[in-house]
Structure formats: C-alpha cells, structure tokens
Amino acid sequence: MRVFDDRPCSLGEGPLWHPERAQLFWFDIPAGKLLSRRGDKRFEWTFAEMVSAAGWVDRTRLLIASESSLFLFDLETEAARAIVPLEADNMVTRSNDGRADPHGGFWIGTMGKHAEPQAGAIYRYFDGQLRRIFAGISIPNALCFAPDGQTAYFTDTPTRKVMAQPLGADGWPEGAAQVLVDLGGDGLNPDGAVTDAEGNLWIAQWGGARVAVHAPDGTFLRAVSVGAKKASCPAFGGPELDQLFVTTAQEGYDAAGLAGDPLAGQVFHIAAGARGRPEPRVRL
C-alpha cells in the first residue's frame, strides 16, 4: 500500500468516498477533526467535540456523528445544524463507527471514551427517528451492508465476532443476528468494514496491519497488507471505485511504539482488485 495522506491521526476512522464530489473524507476522532483530500488539495475542519463518522446527504452536506449528536454540516459554508441528540446526557460515551445503509438510514455505534465494557450501543437513524438497535456494546465496529440491503453486519470488537443481522423491507432488523466470522481462534481484532459490489466483506484488523476479505458466507478469501499495524477502517473510492483506502491509528503508542510503526495514523490506498459500490445517500 502507498500513503494517500501523510497527516498522522491519533485515531483515524470513518473513511467516506463522496460519490458526487469524488473526494475522500475521514476523521481523527480524539482531535475532533474531519479531514479530506481531493487531488493535491487538502482540507481540514475542527469541531468542539469528538467526531467519528459521516454519511453524505447531497453534494455539500454531510450527516456527521459527534460524541453527543448527529448534525448536518455544510462543507462550503461550514454551517452546522443539530439533527438529533446521540447519548447527549451520557458523558461517558462518544460515537465510533458508522455508515449509511442502502435504504437511506444511518447506523452509528457509541462506546465508552475509555472503552468501558458494554458502555455503548448501536443505533439507526431513519426518516427522522433515532432508534437503539443493540445495547451493551463495548467497541462497535464493522457496520456495513449487503448490496441488496437485506443484511447488516457489525461487530463488538472484543468479542472478535462479526455478526450478520437480517433486515426487513424498510431496513430495520428482523430476527436474530448470527455469527458470520469468528476470529477468536486467530486472535484477530475486527475493526471497520465495507462491502464490495459482489457482497464480500473487507474487514480492517486492528493490530494486524491488514484488511481481510471474506465472502458473504463468511469464508476467508484473502488479505491485503496495510502500511501500519493499527488498521481501523477501509473504504472504496476512485473514479471506478476500485481503489481501497484504509485509515490507521497511533493510539496507544509511546515513542518506542511509534518508532516501530512509523507510518501509523496515516491513510493508505491500493488498487483493490475488486470494485466497491457508491455509498448510499442519507435520507433526512
């Protein structure tokens, strides 16, 4: 993998390729920053709270998850407008992984700011309603969706299990989630994930310096090496959606740790050998 952007993030997360702007966005969660790059031009916005994930609403507006709300942000005017509170009365938690589903909903996970066990949850925002889907989550990750919109995927990273949740016609969960991928025997930590056009899951493995590819039935297919150990989340982008972008992190490193992982926190990219899908638009 090559370095796409060398600005080091403490905790890079939430990469989003905006299909109308042909532009990659991502976050440095502890710094409260939204970062972006288009060609040689770099962008950066800083907020008063931690921010972690976004979906696109139209060409200029993103729905962004912060530690206390979902809010609308205009990239050109920089105007922000609160949409709905997100555990605003809970000072322990912040938002983490999030992604839009094929129905136009936005899924977002929360977690303890110090990864307190079972302090978080997973929510879905759809048609003006924020509903809690799962409670008692420690580190929500891998939120992504089958291309047909009939299955959602997620993980609570410490369990090392990626779950498959059946969805109904309007995108709300129906029935019980089942284990799709169990990495416990390998000691691997699933982090952010995305699906490609064939429905395969591309799962970043925190500490593993790679993104693993699994078939829709959970079968391991291959792995793509990343240039830093703490791979946090992948995204497809580029004109043909055949480039894989991966955020990484410096979190938890001292000077010796950084010396052993010198590109930690930077964003990487590589020709994926597969094609992704345009990220769905969020319906407000």
Q: Which residues are catalytic?
A: 191
Q: Which of 156, 146, 150, 199 is nearest to 171 (CA)?
A: 150
| Cα Rg of the chain (Å, integer) | 17
For residue 176, the tally of other CB atoms under 10 A from its CB is: 8
Asked if residue 72 lies in contact with residue 81, where contact means CB atoms within 8 angstroms, the answer is yes
Q: Which residues of 26-39 are buried (b: 16+ CB within 10 A; e: fewer)?
A: bbbbbbbbbbbbee
For residue 83, the tally of other CB atoms under 10 A from its CB is: 18
